[in-house]
Chain A
């Protein structure tokens, strides 16, 4: 299985709602990533998990709360979002780099398109 799956495909939420995005992979990857992509812009890294521990937080507002309950699952919990948070949220996974000059390709899911009203 070489897929990264994301649910839901589309999500519409109000600013007072609480919702979650889900990402799953069964490739045995131990690094997982969340990206945010605004329209006509490149993806921007939000969070990186390595061995189920948060290793990078790119100064993301606390209304976004990531969670990695096990090595196959990655969640992004959303609360009190703003309309400007509307975007495509992409999940990716990779092997963990264990040595110098060792970059591991990231595999991307199809994304969740989020609209905040």
Chain B
């Protein structure tokens, strides 16, 4: 069965500083990987996705992620964080072999200091 681990439950970063969120996945076949962001009381917004091809993926709001098959990782980065980036971030893996299931990691809460 597929699984996703986000090792950091909370991350605090200063506004303007860089941000990296870690994601490790476990899946026996080609992974389909996603990063979502959720602001308090809101639904999920897709930041970016990896299906195949270039392992560095660009997303919305200045985010990017790099797929590293050898490390089973799909880390999310942003060079300069804005106060509006404070939110919960979820990494997810899509499994076509399990009825198109989407399995989420536990999430990382990002706090932005002024």
A100–B51 alpha-carbon span in the complex (Å) = 14
Taking a contact as CB atoms under 8 Å apart, the answer to whether B106 and A42 are in contact is yes
Taking a contact as CB atoms under 8 Å apart, the answer to whether B94 and A41 are in contact is no
Taking chain A's interface residues, is the majority helix, strand, or loop, or is none over half, making it mixed?
A: loop
Q: Is A71 an interface residue (CB 8 A)?
A: no
Q: Which residues of the other chain, B, contact A48 by a CB distance below 8 angstroms? A: 99-101
Interface residue tally on A, bucketed by range: 20 to 34
Taking a contact as CB atoms under 8 Å apart, the answer to whether B102 and A106 are in contact is yes
Contact with A along B74-114 (1 / 0, CB 8 A): 00000000000000101000111101111011110100000
Q: Is A102 an interface residue (CB 8 A)?
A: yes
Inter-chain residue pair count (beta carbon < 8 A): 62
Q: Is B53 an interface residue (CB 8 A)?
A: no
Total B residues in contact with A, Cβ cutoff 8 Å? 26
A50–B101 alpha-carbon span in the complex (Å) = 12
Most buried by B among A42, A92, A101, A109: A42
Contact with A along B28-56 (1 / 0, CB 8 A): 01101010000001111010010100000
Taking a contact as CB atoms under 8 Å apart, the answer to whether A56 and B99 are in contact is yes
Q: Which residue of A lies closest to B105 (CB)?
A: A42
Taking a contact as CB atoms under 8 Å apart, the answer to whether B100 and A96 are in contact is yes
* Segment 19-54 of A: residues with Cβ below 8 Å from B: 31, 40-43, 45, 48, 50
Which of these, B43, B100, B107, contacts A41 with CB under 8 Å? B107
25 A-B pairs (CB sep. < 8 Å): A31-B100, A40-B88, A41-B107, A42-B106, A42-B107, A45-B101, A48-B99, A48-B100, A90-B44, A92-B102, A96-B100, A97-B100, A100-B97, A101-B29, A101-B30, A102-B96, A103-B32, A103-B51, A103-B95, A103-B96, A106-B94, A108-B43, A108-B46, A111-B42, A111-B43
A residues within 8 Å of B by Cβ? 31, 40-43, 45, 48, 50, 55-56, 88, 90, 92, 94, 96-97, 100-106, 108-111, 113
